[in-house]
């Protein structure tokens, strides 16, 4: 195994959300993020990057993607879900997966999760190997310095701890409400306005 990149020791510090889930508030006005759950791959003072985990990718199957990339075997021994990962670099693929399998160039988010953009992870999955769980996302969500922090202050997002069984769950339609219920919050009772005492 070669060198692995990590999301950074200071990322998990107070105020940083690396390895957490962002849950869009009901009042989210941006249609690209309405009712989304975003797994945060990296969050520092300089930038933030995440993968939307509850938007299925329409019109492209895992098998057809592997065929386009000429990845064998066909059909693959294993399949993973395909997601619309966010509005940035929508032609680029990222595999969010369990950290039991990493390689050179994998971004190790924490002891549970990693992100790999190399075709090698797709080859391993097609052979029936690779990480225990994974999902392929085209595109990602990105924020510049301070941008995500400002959105959180404006009550656009809530954060929830990320659990493997939740991140890789099959019921995408129930994921947004499930993430809110993990906080014991009813989305119908949430307001988009910050309260002032």
Residue 4 lies in a domain: no
Residue 155 lies in a domain: yes
Q: What is the pLDDT of residue 191?
A: 52
What is the residue-averaged pLDDT of the chain? 88
Q: What residues contact 164, with CB distance under 8 A and at least 6 apart? A: 98, 112, 113, 133
Q: What is the pLDDT of residues 143-159, one digit of tens each?
A: 999 999 999 999 999 99
**Does residue 1 carry a pLDDT above 60?**
no
Residue 185 lies in a domain: no
Residue 43 lies in a domain: yes
Quote the CA–CA distance of 74 and 126 in Å, as a whole number.
Answer: 8
Domain that holds residue 136: 17-179
Q: In CATH, what number is assigned to the domain containing residue 153? A: 3.40.1740.10
User: What is the DSSP secondary-structure string of 7-58?
Assistant: S-GGGGSTT--TTEEEEE-TT---TTTTT-EEEEEEE-SS-EEEEE-S-BPP
Q: What is the pLDDT of residues 53-70, one digit of tens each?
A: 999 999 999 999 999 999
Indicate the pTM of the whole model.
0.88
Quote the CA–CA distance of 9 and 166 in Å, as a whole number.
Answer: 24
Residue 121 lies in a domain: yes
Of 178, 187, 174, which is closest to residue 56 (Cα–Cα)?
174
Q: What is the pLDDT of residues 12-25, one digit of tens each?
A: 444 589 999 999 99
Residue 66 lies in a domain: yes
**Does residue 128 carry a pLDDT above 90?**
yes
111: how many CB neighbours lie within 10 A of its CB? 8
Residue 101 lies in a domain: yes
The whole-number average pLDDT for the span 20-48 is 95
Number of domains in the chain: 1
Residue 189 lies in a domain: no
């Amino acid at each position: 195994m070669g060198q692995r990149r990590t999301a950074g020791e200071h990322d998990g510090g107070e105020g940083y959300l690396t390895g957490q889930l962002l849950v869009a508030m009901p009042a989210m006005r941006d249609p690209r993020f309405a009712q989304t759950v975003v797994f945060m791959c990296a969050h520092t003072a300089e930038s933030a990057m995440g993968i939307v985990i509850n938007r299925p990718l329409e019109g492209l199957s895992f098998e057809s993607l592997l065929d386009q990339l000429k990845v064998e075997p066909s059909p693959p021994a294993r399949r993973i879900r395909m997601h619309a990962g966010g509005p940035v670099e929508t032609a680029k693929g990222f595999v969010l997966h369990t950290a039991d399998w990493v390689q050179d160039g994998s971004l190790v988010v924490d002891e549970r999760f990693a992100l790999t953009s190399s075709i090698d992870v797709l080859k391993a999955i097609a052979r029936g190997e690779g990480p225990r769980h994974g999902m392929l996302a085209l595109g990602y969500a990105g924020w510049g310095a301070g941008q995500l922090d400002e959105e959180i202050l404006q009550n656009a997002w809530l954060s929830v701890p990320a659990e493997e069984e939740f991140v890789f769950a099959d019921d995408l339609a129930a994921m947004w409400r499930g993430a809110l219920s993990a906080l014991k919050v009813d989305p119908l009772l949430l307001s988009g306005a910050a309260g002032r005492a």
